[in-house]
Amino acid sequence: WAADGRAIGQPDYLTRSMHLFGIETEYGITREDLDAVDPVEESMELVRAHLPGKFERRWDYRGEDPHEDARGFRVSGLQQDKEEDDFAKVDAHRPFSFHEMKSDLVLPNGARFYNDHTHPEYSTPECRTLKDLLAHDRAGERIVQRAADRRNQQLGGAHVQLYKNNTDFHGHSYGCHDNYLVSRSLPFAQLVSGLLPFLVSRQLMAGAGKVGMEAQESGFVPGPFQISQRADFMEAELGVDTMHNRPILNTRDEPHADRTKYRRLHLILGDANMCEYATALKVGTTRLVLDMLQRGEAPSLELEQPVAAIKQLSRDPDLKTTVRLKDGRTISGLAIQEEYWNVASRCCAGSDPDTDWVLREWQETLGALRQDRTQLVGKLDWVTKQWLLETFMREERLAWEDPWLASLDLEYHNVNPDRGLFLGLEAEGKTWRMTSERDIAQALVAGPSDTRGGLRGLCVRRFPEQITGMQWERVQFSGGLRARTLEMGDLFEPDAVQACAALLEAAASPADALAAWSRRRDG
């Protein structure tokens, strides 16, 4: 490591381009007019309701391989492979091809919207700033709800409801995955040891809150309130699986970029947040911890049992629980977060406006959690939900075991503005906002101008009929030749992105744009 904290020999382009992140959200879906819901078909129909007509913009799955493990090997099989095979047998009776069932869309804002078998999933475009990420995450809520509105028009009633949460209260969990571009020069073992304690305790800021406890084997057990919805479903420290034996730190090595330079950190442990503040802290603090690790900095913390710890911390909203470190010490979740803040404030302060905002708000949030968490109502989801439920319990004289509370828990996450409890608070001005309605409206129609997500959306807007295939890192146009492909595996510098966008805007055809882009890069 060099004196300035960078890995020795690390090129400057890696330092400049590292701040990229995105969120993938799987939405819970139900039909209130049916006793038994087929989530596969309902998810497919919902996505297809977004764009009536033929689905021509197919996602190219050839670049995806979930069997590659970041620990340096390729697994021969995943537990979820058998489930996928079982799904295929069940789905064989359906009159749809694989692509029709996926109903994969790349939207004009560079996002991806598709059916992840039993859940509609919205993936934001790659973002460089927290405000852009929040705007695109909120745009996703609007897009899935608009699709539900169109679907309900077809059905003749407000039957389809969507939930931005992580549990159906029947033992099933679905994910909200935050993703980060990371330099491959950072050894993966160092990434793991530095990140695990932070991730286990991150729920204190980013938990969505939940009534009761839950497991895939035993289902839902009514009971006291806890901090996180996903903590109950974490079963391993590390692993490449995502649906079984879920790991705190997912090891899938699918960079969607130049593999020699980058890796993608794909985190599946996080809750889906309604509060913009919680989303900003979740992603912003994680990004800072990754910066710390890249500089060779990390607190000296190693948990004895991370899987047990993440559950123990979640089940104590009073924040008094301590967990054991491998060196024999015990420490609270708040103290873990304070250790990480101390290091981040020393080595990262002044890097950019987002960093300074995160450091300030991170510190203030930890202080409020210690002293007066009512300051965080409308900012952190678990605090907001606990306040709502406790207020209702006092008025109705209910206990935590009352099934009414699980129903209210679910409605907190409803993205229908006429039903959602959080959205009701937001409409009353009782929540913290970083985005404006104008920001969200812009995110509905265009991606960030300084990332390749914006380029992907621009291609959809300018040349929709000529697109034959898309992945995160490339767009293929009709012609089938190399000259007909926009390669974006290392296209991360804002100046280069904007130069490419200018050529796409001005060109009469994809071929013209790609030829001009090739001349610029070669010259």
| pLDDT 10s digits, 478-505 | 875 555 899 999 999 999 999 999 999 9
- Looking at residue 466, what DSSP letter applies? G
In 3D space, the residue among 129, 103, 128, 123 whose CA is nearest the CA of residue 111 turns out to be: 123
- 114 DSSP β-pair partners: 121
pLDDT of residue 89: 61
Residue 453 burial (CB < 10 Å; 0-12/13-18/19+)?
buried
Q: What span, in angstroms and rounded, lies between the C-alpha atoms of 198 and 208?
A: 17
pLDDT of residue 85: 53
pLDDT digits (tens, 9 = 90+) for 160-190: 999 999 999 988 899 999 999 999 999 999 9
Catalytic residue among 116, 258, 316, 490: 116
pTM summary value? 0.92
pLDDT of residue 214: 86
Task: Bin 500: left if φ > 0, else alpha if -120 < ψ < 50, else beta.
Answer: alpha
In 227-315, the DSSP E strands lie at: 236-239, 247-250, 262-267
Residue 174, φ and ψ in degrees, nearest 5: -135, 160
In 3D space, the residue among 334, 308, 163 whose CA is nearest the CA of residue 232 turns out to be: 308
Query: How many helices (H) does the chain have, and how many strands (E)?
Result: 18, 19
Amino acid in position 267:
L
**pLDDT bracket for residue 506 (50, 70, 90):** very high
Reply yes or no on whether 116 is catalytic. Answer: yes
In 3D space, the residue among 131, 114, 132 whose CA is nearest the CA of residue 123 turns out to be: 114
Which tokens in the block code for residue 470?
A: 């898309």
Residue 303 has pLDDT above 90, yes or no: yes
Residues sharing a CB contact under 8 Å with residue 246, sequence separation 6 or more, in sequence order: 173, 233, 234, 235, 236, 239, 268, 269
**pLDDT bracket for residue 264 (50, 70, 90):** very high
